Amino acid sequence: MRYVLHAEAAVGPGTGHVMRLSAIAEEMISRNLEVIFVGDIGSIPWLENRILGLGFSRVLFNVGDFFSDPGSDILVFDSYTRDIDDCFISKLNWKKVVLISDVTTPRYSADLVIHPNLSEGQLIDTGGDLYSGPKYIPLRKTIKKVIYSREVGSKLKILLVGGGTDPFNFVSSLALILSESGCSFEAFLFTHDISLALIDNRFSVVEIGPDLDVLAETADLVFTTASTTSLEFIAREMAVGIGCAVENQKNFYDGLKSSGAAAPIGKRVLNNWIFDAALIDKLISEAGLRTELRTKCKNFIDCDGSSRIVDLILNL
C-alpha cells in the first residue's frame, strides 16, 4: 500500500495545506509506511527543506509526474484549487481518497473527510465518513507543551508570525504598532523584510523557518494570524494574540476569541489592518492577562491529532 499526500503552497495562498499534510506524513513515516509527496510548494526554501527532510519515499513537485495505481494507492489531499472533476483526485484513480478540509474547501468527493476544527460540526456531504473537531488537528512532532517560566527582571520576549509566508503583511503592520509602545521588550519578527530590524533596537528579524520552534520555547507572548500556525501556539499553551487576515481564517479567529484561548487583536479590512492598539498594549504590559490566556488554552488542543488521523486512514 502506498499513501500519496497531495497539497500545494505559494507565497500568496500560504503554506497551511502543506503543513497540515506534513504533520500527517511525519506520523505515517514514523510507522514505516510508504509515503509519497506530490505537489508544487512554490519554491519556498524552508518548506522545501521540511518536505525533503521528512523521509518520504518519493517527492514530486509536479503532479503530472505521478501515476497512481487504483488497486493499491490511497490519496490524502488538502486543497482549495483543484477542480471538482480534476482527474488527479478522482476516486476512480485511487483505492481510497481522504480529504483534509475546512469551511471553504470545495465539495470534493472522498471516502474519508477530516475537518480539523475548534468544535465538532457537520459539513456538506462528500459521500464519505466525516470526523471533525480539535481531536483531529494535525500537529508537527516538534510541537510540545511549553512549561512557562520567566526570570525576574528579564525583558518580555514577543514573537510576530504571519503564517508561513506572511502574504498579508501582518508582521510589518503590527511591528509599527508595537514601535509606539514605551514598554521594554524583545520582538522577534518572522519575515523576509530585513528593514524592519531598523525600527529600533527592540526588534530583530528572523527568517521564517526552524528558528520558530526554538524561540517559542521561551517566548512570553505571540502575535500571529488565525491560520494553521496559530493552532501550534495554542497547542503549546502560550499567550497568543490573533489577527484575522482573510475569510478562511474567520472560523479559527471567532472560535479562539469566543473560547478565550487567544486575544483578538484585529482584522484586515479592505487590504488594511485595523488593530486594537489598547488590547495589544495590555497584552504587553499586563502579566495577569497573559497568564489568563495560558490558562484558557490549557488542554484546548492536544498533540495527538496526527496519530488519530492516521489510525482512521489505516482503518479504511
Tell which residue, 117, 98, 120, 93, has the closest CA to residue 109.
98
- The Cα-based distances of 99 to 21, 111, 171 in angstroms read 10, 8, 31
pLDDT in tens, the chain (316 residues): 999 999 999 987 889 999 999 999 999 999 999 999 999 998 899 999 999 999 999 999 999 999 999 999 999 999 999 999 999 999 999 999 999 998 889 999 999 999 998 876 655 555 679 999 999 999 999 999 998 888 777 899 999 999 888 999 999 999 999 999 999 999 999 998 888 888 999 999 998 888 999 999 999 999 999 998 999 999 999 999 999 999 889 999 999 999 999 999 999 999 999 999 999 999 999 999 999 999 999 999 999 999 999 999 999 9
Count the residues in the chain. 316
For 120, the grid coordinates are 465538532
Between CA 202 and CA 291 the distance in angstroms is: 23
Structural element, H or E, at residue 296: helix 287-296
Query: Cα dist. 244→26, 91, 167, 170, 237 in Å?
Result: 28, 35, 13, 9, 20
Q: Which CATH class is domain 156-296?
A: alpha beta
Cβ contact 28:3 at 8 Å: yes
Alpha carbon distance 230, 19 (integer Å): 12
Give the chain's largest Cα–Cα span: 64
Q: Helices (DSSP H) in the chain: which residue ranges?
A: 16-30, 45-53, 170-179, 211-216, 228-236, 250-259, 277-285, 287-296, 305-314
User: How would you class 92 by CB atoms within 10 Å of its CB: exposed for 0-12, middle for 13-18, buried for 19 or more?
Assistant: exposed
- Domain range summary for the chain, segments of one domain joined by +: 2-139+303-314, 156-296
Dist. CA 261–CA 108, nearest whole Å:
32
CATH topology of domain 2-139+303-314: Rossmann fold (3.40.50)
**Within this chain, domains 2-139+303-314 and 156-296 share the same CATH topology:** yes
**Three-state DSSP class for residue 93:** helix
Place of cell 509602545: 181
Of 6, 8, 1, nearest to 66 (Cα)? 6
255, containing H or E segment: helix 250-259
What stretch of H or E contains 60? Answer: strand 58-60
Q: Minimal CA–CA distance to 118: which of 133, 101, 104?
A: 133
Alpha carbon 220 to chain centroid distance? 20
Give the count of beta carbons closer than 10 Å to the beta carbon of residue 11.
14
Q: Could you report the per-residue pLDDT of 149-189, keeping only the tens digit for each?
A: 887 778 999 999 998 889 999 999 999 999 999 999 999 99
* Percent of the chain clearing pLDDT 70 (strictly above): 97
Instruction: Give the DSSP H or E segment for 277.
Output: helix 277-285
**Would you give the distance in Å from CA 143 to the centre of its chain?**
11
The pLDDT, as a whole number, for residue 200 is: 93
How far, in Å, CA of 278 to CA of 20, rounded?
33
How much is the pTM? 0.93
